[in-house]
Amino acid sequence: MRLVAPIALGLACLGVAPVSADARDAPLWTNAPRRPAVRAGQATKVGETGGGFADLAGRARAAVVHVRGEMPEGGTATESEGEGGKTSIGTGFIINKSGYVVTNEHVVRGVVDLRVRLYDGRELPACVAGADLPTDIALLKIEAKGPLPVLAFGNSDAVRVGEPVIAIGNPYGFNHSVTAGIVSAKERVVDRSSLHEERAEDLYSFFIQTDASINLGNSGGPLIDATGAVIGINAAFWAGHPLQPAQGIGFAIPINMAKALLPRLVETGTARRAFLGVDAQPIDPELEAALKLPSGRGALIASIEKASPAEAAGLEPGDVVVAWDGSEVATSEDFKIDAQLSVPGARIKIAILRDGKRAEREIVPRVAPIKDVAPPHPSSCTRPREPLQANVDDFDVQQAPARAGAPAGSRGVAVSRVTDHSAAAQAGLKVGDVVLRIGTTGVRTPPDVAAALGGYKLGAPVPMLVRRGGFDFWMAFTRR
């Protein structure tokens, strides 16, 4: 399996305010209307309100964004490398009008100068409001003028194998590409060692599998059902063997998993896990027969830690957990995810089988020890803003008039270095350019530049008069 890690291009959270109290009070996401029950053998219509993949994509893609960030030299989470640094490209989707955007954690890991490009072409600074390494989920924050289009959440538990779906993303930088397919499988457990080699066994991989084409750059984009609701977050694809390349095997994180974590990411920036103090294992046919179980469904408890919530609840090795908070536990993986994603301190009803008899228990998870916490993100919303990424020095054209093509006696500020993928570089500023004016202010020294830039708010467009090769021209960049 290969990560759909973007070919990243990135920029940092400059000009984005920390998460406000008003934003926290707004609903974090909207749930799509409950879908009508589908009988076995009944076809699912695509785009029930309009029909067809075209209508479905037309309604959904406005809320899908292009996520870009720069990977500093020495970084590893990238799919392409630029001069002087590395870049990363991914996808995200807007979930509420306050500007929250869902994407993958690996899309933003270690990147600076984080930005998103909206479907209407606007490019906005972004910051990481929270991220979770084990589930590979991240929540970004942007500030935009005017209403934002949003995508509603569906119910990934209700999705059926064979249902039609579409994926929207930015594969290899081709913006807002739409692919279509079906749900190929659910609850797919795969080897995620390529994501985190040291603790692959502790990472979640309860994926929705789809044959909708997913490639590098699709990471963090939505997997959308026939009603237009998000049922998954596209995260990875299976590359296969070099001599036998795989096709049509992509994986998405179930949206219900995100629902459990996103409120915690908003509140604390991380998603602390719950702890039960119990190890469970799958039930194979031999154990089913040996233990005289009615079926192989459930999670077989192998051990209980002393003084743990599991011991306090009266659980014992040999018990089979068959229900968690009213929902069936089909496998030990079900139990693991239900337990660790539960809210610490909540009182949860569970059902077990012991000696062939069903019994009810109540368990109160506590906060798990900290592990597998996502590393600090350079583009975190809580980090201070950074200055413009362009160095300038004093330049007297009288000493070298040919360098700038300027008449003798004139003065300006020569650009000595421009950081790759910075605001200045994207505007077209080059080493050797001479900055003559910023707005209406003439500049002669680096302090002049700092004072002139101080008159513009972060996120504001800055006009700049530049001389290059004997010609003067204006350019503009966004101050970050």
CATH number at residue 414: 2.30.42.10
| pLDDT above 90: residue 140 | yes
What pLDDT score was predicted for residue 360? 95
What pLDDT score was predicted for residue 134? 84
Do 301 and 284 lie in one domain? The reply is yes
CATH code for the domain of 237: 2.40.10.120
Instruction: Give residue 263's identity as a one-letter amino acid code.
Output: P
Final residue of a structural domain among 222, 253, 271 = 271
pLDDT in tens, 214-260: 888 899 999 999 999 999 999 988 776 666 666 778 999 999 999 98
Average pLDDT over the chain reads 78
- The span from the CA of 343 to the CA of 273, in Å, is 8
Percent of the chain with pLDDT over 70: 74
- The span from the CA of 268 to the CA of 256, in Å, is 20
How far apart, in Å, are the Cα atoms of 282 and each of 173, 187, 275, 319?
Answer: 41, 14, 19, 12
Do 263 and 278 lie in one domain? The reply is no
Do 335 and 408 lie in one domain? The reply is no
Do 228 and 279 lie in one domain? The reply is no
What pLDDT score was predicted for residue 183? 95
What pLDDT score was predicted for residue 420? 62
* 136 classed as catalytic: yes
| Residue 161 covered by a domain | yes
What pLDDT score was predicted for residue 364? 94
What pLDDT score was predicted for residue 203? 52
| Residue 343 covered by a domain | yes
- Which member of 156, 177, 184, 219 is catalytic? 219
Final residue of a structural domain among 271, 292, 326 = 271
| Residue 441 covered by a domain | yes
Residue 51: give the domain boundaries. Answer: 1-34+43-271
- The span from the CA of 324 to the CA of 10, in Å, is 41
Q: Any idea which of 20-34, 127-141, 284-298 has the lowest mean pLDDT?
A: 20-34
- The span from the CA of 342 to the CA of 367, in Å, is 10
Do 168 and 294 lie in one domain? The reply is no
Task: Please count the residues of the chain.
Answer: 480
What are the DSSP calls for 374-441, one per residue?
PPPPTTBTTSPP---SEEEEEEETTT-HHHHTPPTT-EEEEEEEE-TTSHHHHHT--TT-EEEEETTE
Name beta bridge partners: 370.
Answer: none
Residue whose C-alpha is closest to residue 379's, from 79, 18, 118: 18
| pLDDT above 80: residue 36 | no
The residue with greater pLDDT, 480 or 358, is: 358
Do 267 and 280 lie in one domain? The reply is no
Do 189 and 328 lie in one domain? The reply is no
- The span from the CA of 254 to the CA of 218, in Å, is 16
| In the block, residue with structure tokens 């479905």 | 56
| Residue 376 covered by a domain | no
The residue with greater pLDDT, 239 or 124, is: 124
CA-based end-to-end distance of the chain:
37
Residue whose C-alpha is closest to residue 163's, from 131, 185, 136, 178: 185
| pLDDT above 70: residue 89 | yes
How far apart, in Å, are the Cα atoms of 135 and each of 102, 260, 296?
Answer: 13, 11, 27
| Residue 321 covered by a domain | yes
Tell me the mean pLDDT in the region 388-399: 42
Q: Any idea which of 90-104, 152-166, 189-203, 429-443 has the lowest mean pLDDT?
A: 189-203
pLDDT in tens, 99-123: 999 999 989 988 888 889 999 989 8
Measured in whole angstroms, the distance separating CA 470 from the mean position of its chain's CA atoms is 46
| Residue 111 covered by a domain | yes
Do 182 and 53 lie in one domain? The reply is yes
CA-based angle 222:223:226, to the nearest 5? 125
Final residue of a structural domain among 251, 271, 291 = 271
Instruction: Give the pairing type, strands 100-104 and 137-142.
Output: antiparallel
Give the tokens for residue 95. Answer: 């979930």
Do 323 and 338 lie in one domain? The reply is yes
pLDDT in tens, 263-311: 989 988 888 788 899 999 999 999 989 888 999 999 999 999 999 999 9
- The span from the CA of 164 to the CA of 292, in Å, is 40
| Residue 372 covered by a domain | no
- The span from the CA of 31 to the CA of 22, in Å, is 20
What pLDDT score was predicted for residue 75? 52
How far apart, in Å, are the Cα atoms of 35 and each of 23, 46, 55, 229, 277?
Answer: 29, 13, 18, 10, 37
Q: Any idea which of 10-24, 60-74, 122-136 has the lowest mean pLDDT?
A: 10-24
Q: Decide: 325 and 347 in contact? Cβ < 8 Å.
A: no
Total domains in the chain come to 3
Give the number of other Cβ atoms within 10 Å of residue 13's Cβ: 32
Residue whose C-alpha is closest to residue 433's, from 463, 392, 389, 388: 392
The residue with greater pLDDT, 458 or 253, is: 253
Tell me the mean pLDDT in the region 312-316: 94
* 219 classed as catalytic: yes
Do 102 and 151 lie in one domain? The reply is yes
pLDDT in tens, 193-220: 544 333 344 456 689 999 998 888 899 9
Do 180 and 319 lie in one domain? The reply is no
| pLDDT above 90: residue 471 | no
Do 88 and 120 lie in one domain? The reply is yes
Residue whose C-alpha is closest to residue 282's, from 273, 291, 274: 291
- Which member of 66, 88, 98, 136 is catalytic? 136
The residue with greater pLDDT, 407 or 362, is: 362
Specify the pTM: 0.70
- Which member of 106, 176, 377, 421 is catalytic? 106
| Residue 354 covered by a domain | yes
| pLDDT above 60: residue 136 | yes
The residue with greater pLDDT, 477 or 152, is: 152
